Copies of this chain bind each other. A is one copy, B any other.
Amino acid sequence: VASDTRDRLIKATGRLLRSHGYAGTGLNQVTAEAKAPRGSMYFHFPGGKEELAAAALDRFADRVTQRLEERLASSSTVADAVAGYFDDVAAVLERRRFADGCAVGTVSLEASPTHDALADATRRALQTWTKLFADALEAEGRSPDEAHGLATVVVAAIEGSLVVAKGQRSVDPVVTIGDTLRPLLQPPNA
């Protein structure tokens, strides 16, 4: 049915954005991977590639938000949740031989400055993740300013860990960054 096609287009685009970025994602490849007729793309996304990519970024961001919420809910401290998330990042990079990653991070660097709809999507994602960590850090007794500062560092460290790991084809930096940041995130009264 039609909505399945839409869904497959969004999922295929998300996968391609994570490994090749926006400029490197071709519409022929999207429709081939989604097993969708070429015409279906413009039926579901009249705005073309940019509208489809923005929808894929929103979908990807929601999935990451859900995983972060699960990690925070199942960990006794934010420090534990962040450490666990760095483990997840390392596992995904190894399993996919560094061809996977964060669609939001890749698009932020190579396309969002020149594409308004993409910038709206990357901004929404980064603000949502930062607020999620900031709220959790405030709940541990930090001031709003301190919580926001640390949350910004956590999101930047996750994105930066993908850069240094993919750029060196090694997960060692991800583990090192997780371990080194841990003391910074210890709850104030622990």
Which A residues fall within an 8 A CB radius of B?
Answer: 19-24, 97-99, 101-102, 104-114, 119, 122-123, 125-127, 130, 148-150, 152-153, 155-164, 166-169, 173, 176-177, 179-181, 184
Number of copies: 2
Contact partner, A109, options B113, B114, B162, Cβ 8 Å: B162
Give Cα A112 to B177, complex, Å: 21
Chain B residue at minimal CB-CB distance from A22: B24
Contact across chains for B113 and A166 when beta carbons are under 8 A apart:
yes
Contact across chains for B157 and A156 when beta carbons are under 8 A apart:
yes
16 contacts between A and B (CB under 8 A): A20-B111, A21-B109, A21-B110, A23-B110, A98-B112, A98-B113, A108-B167, A109-B109, A109-B167, A112-B166, A122-B167, A152-B180, A157-B160, A159-B160, A159-B163, A184-B184
Chain B's nearest CB lies how many Å from the CB of A106?
4
Chain B's nearest CB lies how many Å from the CB of A67?
18
Contact across chains for B180 and A153 when beta carbons are under 8 A apart:
yes
